[in-house]
Amino acid sequence: MYNTKYVLPGLLIFLALFTSPFWAGKVFGTASYERPKLALPAGEKECIEPVEYMRTEHMQILDTWRDQALREGKRTYVASNGKVWNISLQNTCMKCHTNKAEFCDKCHTSNSVTPYCWDCHVEPKGNR
């Protein structure tokens, strides 16, 4: 290989920079991600599905709900535990999760996620 003394260190530096998101926080002790403390709903103790499933799949669930309710006309959701829910972001999800700022926004903001749901869907009154 020509110019080995430049290419090899260059490659190593590049690899280091490229993988830095994975190790830089630990090495320099700067970033530490703490799961935000969310304000849980006062009433219901259980969401439509178990917490862990909701945490990982709520985006997918909302997409499926959207298509099923709007495009297929199927507005009733029978959960895996048999409970029956009305498919609606504003009238089901937000009926319990009334504090958008302390629930939805907490994780979204710290993960730099900006879903555009709220451009159209009306937030519960408490938050505006």
Partner 1 sequence: MKRSRRQFLKVASLSVLGLSTHLATGGIVNAAQQGEQYLPNEHGLKAGRWAMVIDTRAFETPADFEACVTACHKVHNVPHIPNHQDIKWLWTDKYEHVFPEQSNNHMSEALEKRDFLVLCNHCENPPCVRVCPTKATYKRPDGIVAMDYHRCIGCRFCMAGCPYGARSFNFSDPRKHLDMAEVNPEFPTRMIGVVEKCNFCVERLAQGLMPACVEAAEGKIVFGDLNDPESEVRKVLAENFTIRRKPAVGTQPGVYYII
Interface contacts to partner 1, rule CB under 8 A = 49, 53, 57, 60-61, 64, 66, 68, 70-80, 86-88, 90-91, 116, 119-122, 124-125, 128
Token pair of 40 as six digits: 């849980």
The smaller minimum CB distance to partner 1, of residues 32 and 91, is found at: 91
H/E element holding 76? strand 76-78
Quote the least distance from Cβ 121 to partner 1, whole Å: 5
How many other β-carbons are positioned within 10 Å of the β-carbon of residue 87? 20
CB of 88 to partner 1, least distance (A): 8
**What is the enclosing helix (H) or strand (E) of 15?**
helix 4-28
